[in-house]
Amino acid sequence: MIELFSKRIMVTGGHGFLGKHVVRKIQERGCHDIFIPDSKNYDLRIRENIIKAYQEAKPDIVIHLAAVVGGIGANRENPATFFYDNLMMGVQLMEEGRNLGIEKLVATGTICCYPKFTPVPFKEENLWNGYPEETNAPYGLAKKMLLVQSQSYRQQYGFNSIFLLPVNLYGPGDNFDPRSSHVIPALIKKVSDAKKEGRDEIEVWGDGSATREFLYVEDCAEAIVLATQIYEKSEPVNIGAGFEISIKDLIKKICHIMEYKGKIIWDTTKPNGQPRRCLDVSRAEKEFGFKAKVRFDEGLKKAIEWYEDSK
């Protein structure tokens, strides 16, 4: 096990939704030599900025969380941006890390790496059995290239990197901007706005049949830090809670918690996205002892309370 208190650690995306929790988990383990390259001063799409960040941080370990992300709408509008930005950040970060001889790089992928029609629960060995769901394939494939790079760099150079596949995250501090948010914050905001404006109906994309799995953001941060300390293999690892819920049941749950009685109108002209999503999470438990702790209803209430209090 790597003892983090003695390490210098660089966390890309460390000011973000997930990153803040990861940084706190690292600090709880006694490490305070943490460098967070902010996007204003370190555009990680540009190689020279990555080199500058490495020179200033002199990290032993890099945890790469920075990403250009969004929901179905944002992915459909910006497929090239999502592909290029995520690919360039990750590929160059690993290459320059190898050149400098860093001790370990932790790369985070996405559940969007999986093929559109993957048997449920998704097992890591299913990753290459088809093309990802079309609306987020460019993003998913850009992140998936980090797995190819990680495995090939370990084979050729002996470079120590690992690849984690987190499921959809949620919790306090999430992104509630409707132009780029994921499904849970988007639905919470829809219901909140409808209540505030006195509307007796809300419109939701798709037909409600698609299923998703959600992981509380603090649980995901714990998984990433455990993997950083313990996991040393090339095989990808799912990070999730091991359950699925339909979008129809999700919106009902949100409406119930928020005490909204209005009607749900399904806009079936809009895509559902991937038909089903649920991970097999047994590898994470076996390899580094991770198991999600926060129950979905409990986490959902916390996310809703945070949003209502922040307005």
**pLDDT class of 302 with cuts at 50, 70, 90:** very high
Q: Which domains does the chain have, with CATH numbers?
A: 4-170+215-242+278-293 (3.40.50.720)
Peptide bond into 275 cis (omega under 30): no
The 3 state secondary structure assigned to the chain is: CCCHHHCCEEEECCCCHHHHHHHHHHHHCCCCCEECCCCCCCCCCCHHHHHHHHHHHCCCEEEECCCCCCCHHHHHHCHHHHHHHHHHHHHHHHHHHHHHCCCEEEEECCHHHCECCCCCCECHHHCCCCCECHHHHHHHHHHHHHHHHHHHHHHHHCCCEEEEEECEEECCCCCCCCCCCCHHHHHHHHHHHHHHHCCCEEEEECCCCCEECEEEHHHHHHHHHHHHHHCCCCCCEEECCCCCEEHHHHHHHHHHHHCCCCEEEEECCCCCCCCCCCECCHHHHHHHCCCCCCCHHHHHHHHHHHHHHHC
pLDDT one-digit tens code per residue, 178-193: 777 889 999 999 999 9
**pLDDT class of 169 with cuts at 50, 70, 90:** very high
Residue at 179: amino acid letter: R
Query: Looking at the predicted structure, is the pLDDT value of residue 212 above 80?
Result: yes
Residue holding tokens 């096990």? 1
Query: Looking at the predicted structure, is the pLDDT value of residue 135 above 90?
Result: no
pLDDT of the residue at 136: 86
Q: Per the residue annotation, which of 42, 139, 170, 260 is the catalytic one?
A: 139
> Catalytic site residue 139?
yes
Q: pTM value?
A: 0.93
Q: How far apart are CA 161 and CA 155, in angstroms?
A: 11
User: For the purposes of burial, counting CB atoms within 10 Å of the CB of 280, is it exposed (0-12), middle (13-18) or buried (19 or more)?
Assistant: middle
